[in-house]
């Protein structure tokens, strides 16, 4: 039992799970789950109680029962006590102050990251302002490698997302080459297929690999199908670079996705056996999103932001090349409007980076949410300032297959110009060699006989 008195009124919170939920910023998913604070005053009371809570409590009182949940077991059994020791005496409030101090520099944050549990990260985020989330995330450095180097300070990469509603190879190729000519694609060229047909998925893999190999592009490809399909593609000898899977923060929610930790481990080993990386062996790509546990009725009464942070424990275990939150994709039932989406995006990025992950974000919203592209401009700018690893590049910011609004190739140009952010270094060398960017990194005009345009027309350069 936790109790706080504000004025003449006392607020009681029955357990740590309720305290965490009541301390969360208002969002529609927590109201839907009936775990949210009923007033701003109750929310503040919960934050006051949470700030006084020792970090050690999260190791002693799991929010999801240890016996029932393999994600909880992963968090507890895999906890690095030595990394935790320097901050083990802190309360949640002290932890916030320490994170904002000069003492917590990039090297120190990297050392303590393995000792921070998702619940600790979620808890401290709940008592932080947006500027706090941005400042601390900016200090976190997470670098990963496959065929190029991602996450370096002063760099921002783009996942080129050339989706097509009928999986037309020609349509996908057109969007892919369009994105490359805008300098996008250094994070990954990743397709969300409309079909689960294995022969079609195989064709998509070969098409992506053909373009990458033909033009010697230092990037990686991924067909974002279910992990079991990717395993079958590997068995068939398809040129698979990265293994993709959507993940969540509880065992029950992951079971709803048709996955387990053991299955992800099998897929990781299969991808590693191909030895397709040239610079590194980070072979996994994960996507997450606040609300996934609630939509699967698998949240155990835990607020959606804490469930999201727990998904990062799953990702961290598999050392991914990329992980991104599809922050506004699940819909207004979980994040109602632009204000909630912006806050959630900053929380997700902060928690992921604090836990040592290469966090990117699909800065996005569905068409029935109370949000618009101006909100996305705001979130994109804040996240890039905070050291975002990568964003999504979709033609015109309108994904015609998934039917939602994201960010465009032009948005990437905007944020790079605004903040002086660079491409992945190996990719930048390739872009300059292909006369796509100049020495300063700015986009060049594309000639009609550019090799990529000739390839789209079916001609060999």
pLDDT tens readout for residues 82-107: 999 999 999 999 999 999 999 999 99
The predicted structure's pLDDT at residue 446: 84
Contact indicator for 371, 328 with CB cutoff of 8 Å: yes
Is residue 442 exposed (0-12), middle (13-18) or buried (19+ Cβ within 10 Å)?
A: exposed
Cα–Cα distances in angstroms (integers) from residue 271 to residues 18, 105, 223, 324, in the given order: 40, 34, 13, 20
The predicted structure's pLDDT at residue 449: 86
Chain-centroid distance of CA 34 in Å reads 26
Those residues with Cβ within 8 angstroms of residue 324's Cβ, 6 or more apart along the chain or in another chain = 159, 286, 287, 288, 359, 360, 361, 362, 390, 392
For residues 285, 291, 294, 296, the Cα torsion angle rounded to the nearest 10 degrees is: -40
> How many CB atoms are closer than 10 A to CB 168?
12
Q: What percent of the chain has pLDDT over 70?
A: 99
The predicted structure's pLDDT at residue 454: 86
Read off the pLDDT of each residue in 13-42 and give the average, rounded to a whole number: 97
Contact indicator for 272, 281 with CB cutoff of 8 Å: yes
pLDDT tens readout for residues 58-85: 999 999 999 999 999 999 999 999 999 9
The predicted structure's pLDDT at residue 363: 98
pLDDT at 339 over 90: yes
The predicted structure's pLDDT at residue 117: 98
The predicted structure's pLDDT at residue 457: 75
Closest to 27 (Cα-Cα) out of 415, 338, 443? 338
Q: Return the structure tokens found at 377.
A: 């401009």
The predicted structure's pLDDT at residue 1: 86
Residue 322 backbone dihedrals phi, psi, to 5 degrees? -140, 145
pTM over 0.95: yes
Radius of gyration of the CA atoms of the chain, in A: 22
- Cα–Cα distance, 358 to 271 (Å, whole number): 19
Closest to 156 (Cα-Cα) out of 298, 363, 344? 363
The predicted structure's pLDDT at residue 459: 46
Mean pLDDT across the chain: 96
Place of tokens 């996994």: 284
- Cα–Cα distance, 71 to 49 (Å, whole number): 26
pLDDT tens readout for residues 372-412: 999 999 999 999 999 999 999 999 999 999 999 999 999 99
**Confidence bin at 17 (pLDDT 50/70/90):** very high
pLDDT at 461 over 50: no
- Cα–Cα distance, 459 to 461 (Å, whole number): 6
pLDDT at 257 over 70: yes
pLDDT at 166 over 80: yes
Cα–Cα distances in angstroms (integers) from residue 375 to residues 32, 89, 324, 378, 411, in the given order: 23, 39, 19, 5, 13
Read off the pLDDT of each residue in 130-152 and give the average, rounded to a whole number: 98
Strand pairing report for 2-6 and 157-160:
unpaired
Beta strands in 335-400 (DSSP E): 359-361, 390-393, 398-399
pLDDT tens readout for residues 186-243: 999 999 999 999 999 999 999 999 999 999 999 999 999 999 999 999 999 999 999 9
- Cα–Cα distance, 309 to 325 (Å, whole number): 10
Residue 352 backbone dihedrals phi, psi, to 5 degrees? -65, -45
Place of tokens 């990194």: 441
- Cα–Cα distance, 457 to 174 (Å, whole number): 9
Q: What percent of the chain has pLDDT over 90?
A: 95
**Confidence bin at 175 (pLDDT 50/70/90):** very high
Strand pairing report for 404-405 and 221-223:
unpaired
pLDDT at 350 over 50: yes
> How many CB atoms are closer than 10 A to CB 348?
30
């Amino acid at each position: 039992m936790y109790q706080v008195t504000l004025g003449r009124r006392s607020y009681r919170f029955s357990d740590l799970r309720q305290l965490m939920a009541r301390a969360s910023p208002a969002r529609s998913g927590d109201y839907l789950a009936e775990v949210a604070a009923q007033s701003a005053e109750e929310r503040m009371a919960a934050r006051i109680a949470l700030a006084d809570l020792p970090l050690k409590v999260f190791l002693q009182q799991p929010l999801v029962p240890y016996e029932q949940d393999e994600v909880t077991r992963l968090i507890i059994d895999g906890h690095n006590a030595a990394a935790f020791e320097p901050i083990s005496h802190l309360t949640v409030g002290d932890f916030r102050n320490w994170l904002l101090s000069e003492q917590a520099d990039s090297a120190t944050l990297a050392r303590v990251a393995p000792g921070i549990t998702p619940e600790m990260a979620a808890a401290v985020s709940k008592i932080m302002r947006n500027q706090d989330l941005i400042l601390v995330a900016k200090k976190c450095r997470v670098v990963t490698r496959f065929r190029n180097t991602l996450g370096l300070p002063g760099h921002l990469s783009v996942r080129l997302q050339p989706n097509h509603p009928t999986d037309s190879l020609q349509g996908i190729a057109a969007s892919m080459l369009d994105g490359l000519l805008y300098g996008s694609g250094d994070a990954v060229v990743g397709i969300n297929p409309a079909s689960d047909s294995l022969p079609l998925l195989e064709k998509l893999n070969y098409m992506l690999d053909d373009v990458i190999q033909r033009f010697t592009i230092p990037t990686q490809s991924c067909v974002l199908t279910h992990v079991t399909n990717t395993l079958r593609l590997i068995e068939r000898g398809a040129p698979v670079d990265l293994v993709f899977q959507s993940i969540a923060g509880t065992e029950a929610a992951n079971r709803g996705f048709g996955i387990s930790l053991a299955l992800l481990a099998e897929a990781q080993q299969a991808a590693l056996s191909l030895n397709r990386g040239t610079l590194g062996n980070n072979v996994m790509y994960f996507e997450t999103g606040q609300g996934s546990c609630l939509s699967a009725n698998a949240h155990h009464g835990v607020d959606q932001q804490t469930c999201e942070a727990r998904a990062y424990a799953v990702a961290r275990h598999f050392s991914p090349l990329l992980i991104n939150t599809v922050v506004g994709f699940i819909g207004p039932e979980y994040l109602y409007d632009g204000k909630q989406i912006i806050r959630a995006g900053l929380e997700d990025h902060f928690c992921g980076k604090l836990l040592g992950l290469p966090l990117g974000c699909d800065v996005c919203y569905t068409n029935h949410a109370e949000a618009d592209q101006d909100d996305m401009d705001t979130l994109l700018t804040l996240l890039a300032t905070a050291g975002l690893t990568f964003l999504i590049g979709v033609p015109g910011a309108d994904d015609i297959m998934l039917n939602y609004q994201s960010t465009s190739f032009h948005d990437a140009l905007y944020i790079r110009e605004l903040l002086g952010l660079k491409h992945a270094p190996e990719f930048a060398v390739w872009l300059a060699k292909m006369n796509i960017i100049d020495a300063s990194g700015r986009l060049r005009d594309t000639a009609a006989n550019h090799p990529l345009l000739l390839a789209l027309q079916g001609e060999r350069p």
